[in-house]
Each structure stands twice: as C-alpha cells, then as structure tokens.
Amino acid sequence: MLTRLKAKSERKLAKQICKVVLDHFEKQYSKELGDAWNTVRAILVSPSSWQYAVLLNRFNYSFELEKDLRLKGYHTLFQGSLPFCPKSMKCYLSRTPDRMPSERHQIGNLKKYYLLNAASLLPVLALELRDGERVLDLCAAPGGKSIALLQCAYPGYLHCNEHDSLRLRWLRQTLESFIPQPLVNVIKVSELDGREMGDAQPEMFDKVLVDAPCSNDRSWLFSSDSQKAACRISQRRNLPVLQIELLRSAIKALRPGGLLVYSTCTLSKAENQDVICEILNSYTNIMPVDIKEMAKTCSQDFTFAPTGQECGLLVIPDKGKAWGPMYVAKLKKSWTT
C-alpha cells in the first residue's frame, strides 16, 4: 500500500501542469507576490529544477556518505550563526538540481538519510527543541519533521499525531526506518483529529508544531484530474478555518511559557499571515516571537518574501535555491492567562 502511495506521487511529477490550478495561482500570487511570482512560477512548473536536500540520520551516521556528498558539490546548511542550530543536525544542499536515490525500506535497517525540501527544516529549528522536553507534532505524516526534530535533541516525550489512517501507516514506517528502538519507546503515535488534541492533553507540551494541511502549491499544480482540482480550489477557502481550529487545539495542548510553531507549504496569505493574525487578535496570552534573525542568517541558502510580520517568514523558490514555498510563524504562550 505504502509503495503504491510513493509510486503514485512519483507518477504525479511526470504528469502535466493542471491549467485550472495554474490560472488560479496566477491570479492570486501575482497580486500577493508581485514580480517575484514570475520566478516562483518558473520553478514550480518545472520539477526538473527542484532541489532535494539530504538530511543525515544521526542514528546511522556514515562518514562515506558525507564524503560522497562533498565530492558531488553539496555543502552544509546553516553553517552560519543561526540563533538555534544543534550540531547533531546535518543537512547537505546542492546549488544545482539533484536528487539522491531514495533508500529502500528494510525491516531492521535504519536509513542513512532523508530527502526533503530544505525549507522544511526552518519550522523544526524555530521550535528550539532541547533534550528532555515534551513535544507534539500535531499533523505529522509522512514524518519528515518528526525525523528532523529527533536530529536536534532527545525529547523526553514526542507525540506524533496524524488524522489520515493511510498516511499514519506511512508515518509509522518513517519512524521505524530512521529511529532506533530505544528511542521509539519515547514516541507516541496517535490518529486523532488534531482539533481534539487540546482537550485530550491540555497543557501537556513544552513545544508544539502545527505543520498544517494546506493548499500544497507544488503538488496541486500537478493534479491529474482537473475536475477534482477545480473542486479543491473552490474548497480552498475552508482551509483557514481548519488551520485556525488546529492552532486553537495546539494552544490548549501547550503549557504556559511553551513555544508553538505553525508552518505550511503554500504561498497563500489567507492560509499564512491571515491565520496567524486571527490567532494573535483573539488570544491575549499568545505572543508573537521575532524570527527575523533566522531569515538574516540563512539568506544565502533561502530567498524570503516580505510577510509584514516579525514572527512570520515566507520562503519562496528562487534560482539556485529551489526550496519552498514554506511559511513559518513562531508564537509563545505567556505564563499568565
């Protein structure tokens, strides 16, 4: 089943651009991004220009692999002075489009690396996970960010939640493929609707990541069924409601003084800045956390579009830096209600 899911996503990339989606994005994003949209569009519609970063698995470290990557012209990400960047997390990037082969899943063998959109590491780093902390990954499948969190620290407790049962199996397989058994014991996997988590586990977590279901610009552009795509687009306006409900639940699950990171892989202002504005306007105990410094220190590897927010960053794909879209916002729950 899982192999079929992967094969399906690979076939998707070989398919045509969906004109309905492209036209819709064209209207919205040329307004929201201005001239930058032309470059972003050129990259999004050409999968051969997409880049895949290589996140090394510290639980099955390979010196040979690191040497190979350097020989191939890859360099490490976040060498600069990010406010928080644990040495244990090693990610390699190439300036030219390249994709290392995916490793096969073999029971009992840990994989050496995970391929990902490098911008996915920004929400993980923004969470500043430390050893012993209790962390919730509310929308976790297929597990890329959970794996990345575990490269940063040894949490006291990691709760990975995913509502979709097929994707939940994919998540379990990812965890099995990258994490050694003793560590798997501190991970709980659940299949709740994330909107219920706050009531189920109030004030339980030091850190919460809400990597929300969103328009997923890259994959929507390659929808094979244009009727389905049109339907998705018409339902797109409902996504911010779900995203806000997930955030409300995450806020309940967070302890006072805890950190919350919200991320999406869409450029859409309605699903990004507007969602965060709504949350900030409706809670007196939720504070924005300034993450401009993060953008400054990694501007060599990522291109950011202005968001008008100090607590929110938007990575847009650019030439030689085909990462993103990725929106990241960082919030803190104050000690007083």
List the catalytic residues: 265
The phi, psi pair for 304, rounded to 5°, reads: -110, 140
Instruction: Based on the shown chain and the rule CB under 6 A, indicate whether residue 240 belongs to the binding site for ligand SAM.
Output: no
Q: Which residues lie across from 93 on neighbouring strands?
A: 75
Residue 87 makes CB contacts below 8 A (sequence gap 6+) with none
- Least Cα distance to 78 among 45, 99, 55, 109 occurs for 55
Annotated binding site: 139-145, 162, 193, 211
Instruction: Based on the shown chain and the rule CB under 6 A, indicate whether residue 86 belongs to the binding site for ligand SAM.
Output: no
| Of the candidate residues 56, 121, 143, 267, the single one contacting ligand SAM (CB under 6 A) | 143
Instruction: Based on the shown chain and the rule CB under 6 A, indicate whether residue 259 belongs to the binding site for ligand SAM.
Output: no
Instruction: Based on the shown chain and the rule CB under 6 A, indicate whether residue 314 belongs to the binding site for ligand SAM.
Output: no
The rounded radius of gyration (Å) of the Cα atoms in the chain is: 19
Half-sphere exposure of 331 (CA within 13 A, CB side): 29
Q: Least CB distance from residue 337 to ligand SAM, whole Å?
A: 25
Instruction: Based on the shown chain and the rule CB under 6 A, indicate whether residue 140 belongs to the binding site for ligand SAM.
Output: yes
Expressed in angstroms, the distance from the first to the final Cα of the chain is 46
| Helix 226-235, helix 19-33: angle, nearest 10 | 40
Q: Least CB distance from residue 214 to ligand SAM, whole Å?
A: 6
| Of the candidate residues 144, 155, 312, 325, the single one contacting ligand SAM (CB under 6 A) | 144
Cβ closest to ligand SAM, residue 66 vs residue 151:
151
Segments of 67-156 assigned E as strands:
75-76, 91-93, 113-116, 134-137
Annotated binding site for S-adenosyl-L-methionine: 139-145, 162, 193, 211
| Of the candidate residues 194, 198, 240, 312, the single one contacting ligand SAM (CB under 6 A) | 194
Instruction: Based on the shown chain and the rule CB under 6 A, indicate whether residue 145 belongs to the binding site for ligand SAM.
Output: yes
Instruction: Based on the shown chain and the rule CB under 6 A, indicate whether residue 135 belongs to the binding site for ligand SAM.
Output: no
Q: Least CB distance from residue 168 to ligand SAM, whole Å?
A: 8
Residues 18-47 that bind ligand SAM (CB under 6 A): none
Residues 154-173 that bind ligand SAM (CB under 6 A): 161-164, 167
Q: In terms of DSSP bridges, do strands 304-305 and 205-211 run parallel, antiparallel, or are they unpaired?
A: unpaired
Q: How far apart are CA 124 and CA 144, in angstroms?
A: 10
Burial (CB count <10 Å: 0-12, 13-18, 19+), residue 250: buried
Cβ closest to ligand SAM, residue 47 vs residue 123:
123
Q: Least CB distance from residue 81 to ligand SAM, whole Å?
A: 25
* CA-to-CA dists, residue 142 to 8, 33, 126, 258, angstroms: 15, 29, 20, 25
Instruction: State both tokens at 142.
Output: 């297929």
Instruction: Based on the shown chain and the rule CB under 6 A, indicate whether residue 211 belongs to the binding site for ligand SAM.
Output: yes
Instruction: Based on the shown chain and the rule CB under 6 A, indicate whether residue 271 belongs to the binding site for ligand SAM.
Output: no
Instruction: Based on the shown chain and the rule CB under 6 A, indicate whether residue 213 belongs to the binding site for ligand SAM.
Output: yes
The phi, psi pair for 127, rounded to 5°, reads: -75, -20
Stretch that binds ligand SAM, among 10-18, 140-148, 269-277, 305-313 (CB under 6 A): 140-148
Q: In terms of DSSP bridges, do strands 134-137 and 75-76 run parallel, antiparallel, or are they unpaired?
A: unpaired
The site for ligand SAM (CB under 6 A) is made up of: 120, 139-145, 161-164, 167, 193-195, 211, 213
